[in-house]
Structure 1
Amino acid sequence: MIRFATIGTNWITEAFIEAARKVEDFTLTAVYSRTEEKAKEFAAKTGAKQTFTNLEELAKSKDIDAVYIASPNSLHAEQAILLMNHGKHVLCEKPMASNTKEVKAMVDAARRNDVVLMEAMKTTMLPNFLTIREHLHKIGKIRRYFASYCQYSSRYDAYKQGTILNAFNPAFSNGSLMDIGVYCIYPMVVLFGKPHRLQANSLKLESGVDGEGSIIFDYGDMDAMVMYSKITNSYLPSEIQGEEGSILIDAIHTPTKVEIRYRDGRIEDITVPQEQPPMYYEAKEFIELIKNGKRESEINSHEHSLLTIALMEEARKQTGIVFPADE
């Protein structure tokens, strides 16, 4: 059994635990929170045997093999490096960290300590993303990748009333690109690698984060366009256009229906059943890496995480979105 601790007591941590419990070798041993009250409350809810309010004590614990980190983005690097320096494997929520410098430091720590570090990007582990990779050759020469993820944030109403919650606070390295846009960019990087250049636009809110934005990536013989927002909704599917046909994806962040529309009018449904909750697949991949003595995922690799954060950092630079972590 791989004995897990979690950092973060929000809904995403609950969803991870619920999904990971379906993986045969997962067991939840401990939860961490800054306050004892919240740690005990979350442990009672999730059935964890131990609670921690001191991160160093968690890192030193002999009862824990791996840690799932779902704290604010600005804390990821510091927490992950401390844990890895004590031999813990780390599954870190997306985005991996605030900027390229932090992700590089995390990767260095993973290699130095011979532990697994993986970004918890669920999309690229899902059965219907793997089916896209498998069938990509059928649409011929690829000319365009288009991904849209626009989801009105429940926290935006509070923002408009003058309350700046974490989601719209640059101190936590947040905003639309970091929370939502990453779901469009990471799959693009896995499928097509590094673009030659990018051109970014965004709407900068008064708090200093972006409310929405769009980026065009130049790949030479194809282009890629992503749109993301936390202040509007979109109902557009995402699409990969080839000279022989196009792959339509219902939702880039969690694809559940995928079909190829060929130029000759044929439609091929390439959807595969997703029998488990979305976060099950990333948990399974992470646990299998540990059990097999591997140190990084082929899909959610260090290289893909580094490239994704570098592209996001360049987009922020072009649009004037600066975090305290950058300085």
Structure 2
Amino acid sequence: MRIGVIGTNWITDSLIEASKNVEEATITAVCSRKQDTGEAFASKHGIPHVFTSITEMCRSGVIDGVYIATPNSVHHEQAIACLEEGIPVLCEKPLTATRELAEKMIETSRKNQVLLMEAMKSTVMPNFKRAQELLPSLGQIRRYSAHYGQYSSRFDAFKEGDIKNAFKPEFANGSLMDLGVYTLYPLVALFGMPEEVKAVSVNLHSGVDGQGVVALRYPEMDAVVTYSKIIDSYLPAEIAGEKAALHIEHISSPSGVTKINKGGEREDHTIPATKASMAYELEEFIQCWKKGKIESSINTHKLSLNVIALMQEIRKQIGVTYPLDQA
């Protein structure tokens, strides 16, 4: 698959590096708003084609699919533009900010019978699948907890009055959208939507959340997730049942799985990593494309819709709104 990348930030660098572990992937084009930015990025990675127009890139004949890694606020319009041109889309998480916009993206995918997949890497990685396989051995599951705290490299500037895009509501950013999604997506993937949600947060003066805590109620269990861009956290995720518990290291990119039986006996079920974490989502995307599918059977359209709806409800409770909410 010949892939064009849209966006030239560090996450695109990571995707390109991961593509080296995927035999069927080749990065053939980059699209950037500015020609010189695109050319510099292409030169750094040895990418042969540079565009400043998404439509021109889609019609160029040099790509088979696109990877979108631009601000959350423009995911929907860029994805729709590509899908309308018949070009499959791997779109960075979160897919978009509102259920209404996500529905438009999915409707365009279905109308044109073109693949659309959210680039959530955790759920397609081997250690997440291993954890999923172990769930029946835990007995009745009673609790899910997941944590992701990463002090933003841009927060020091924020405290000095220099507000970067990562902390601007017009870009649909903040802690929930950037990091909280990593704690919620696996929860919904494994257990579906909760019956009740209660959220609190520390909001910043720019209008986005700096960190938050969400409690979620299910018929036979509860869940707690925490996320932050203003502290670091080192807690594992835990899925606890009546017979045993699972600890998952790094919920955003599962790197270890440990089962802890009653009495504290530990069993290591980790599958050693053999490639870059983002390679797995790229492989899933390419396999879906080769099979003529319009959605992944793992990162499904329904899953994306549900997670976005859940995050919308959380934002409503914590009082974080975006201009995009009126779109």
TM-score by length of 2: 0.98
Q: Cα deviations across residues 61-91 of structure 1 (Å, max 9, x unaligned)?
A: 2222100000000010000000100000000
Which segments of 5 or more consecutive residues in structure 1 lack a partner in the other structure? none
| Residue aligning to 2:92 | 93
**What aligned pairs does 1:211-226 form with structure 2 within 5 A after superposition?**
211-226=210-225
In 1, Cα distance between the equivalents of 2:315 and 2:87? 32
Residue by residue, what CA displacement relative to the aligned partner does 1:91-124 show, whole Å, maximum 9, x if unpaired? 0000001111111111111111111100000111
Give the Cα separation in 2 of the matches to 1:16 and 1:219: 35
Task: Quote the Cα distance in structure 1 between the aligned partners of 2:63 and 2:271.
Answer: 35
- % of aligned pairs identical? 50
1:12-41 residue CA offsets vs partner (Å, 9 max, x unmatched): 101101112321211111101100100000
Superposition pairs of residues 1-327 of structure 1, within 5 angstroms: 2-327=1-326
For the Cα contact (< 8 Å) 2:55–2:85, is it kept in 1?
no
Cα-to-partner distance string for 1:186-239 (whole Å, 9 max, x where unaligned)? 010111111112111111110000000011111121001100000011121110
Q: Deviations over 1:125-145 (max 9, x none)?
A: 111111000111111000000
CA distance in 2, matches of 1:86, 1:197: 40
- Larger mean CA deviation between 46-55 and 76-85 belongs to 46-55
Amino acid at match of 2:179: I
Q: Which amino acid aligns with 1:121?
A: M
Write the distance in 1 (CA, Å) between the matches of 2:264 and 2:36. Answer: 60
Measure, in 2, the Cα distance between the counterparts of 1:115 and 1:223.
37
Question: Are the counterparts in 1 of residues 83 and 114 from structure 2 also a CA contact under 8 Å?
Answer: yes
SS of the residue corresponding to residue 124 of structure 1 reads: helix
The two structures have a TM-score, normalised by structure 1, of 0.98
Q: Deviations over 1:278-325 (max 9, x none)?
A: 000000000000111122111111011000000000000011100000
The residue identity in structure 1 corresponding to 2:105 is: M
Deviation digits for residues 156-192 of structure 1, max 9, x if unmatched? 0010010111110100000000000000000101111
CA distance in 1 between counterparts of 2:18 and 2:152 reads 24
CA drift of 1:60 comes to 2.3
| Inter-partner Cα distance in structure 2 for 1:190 and 1:181 | 15
Write the letter of the residue equivalent to 1:172: F
Structure 1: 4+ residue segments shifted above 4 A:
none
Secondary structure of the corresponding residue to residue 41 of structure 2: helix
Report the Cα distance in structure 1 between the residues aligned to 2:264 and 2:26, rounded to whole angstroms.
49
**Paired letter, 2:276:** P
- The one-letter code of the counterpart of 1:32 is C
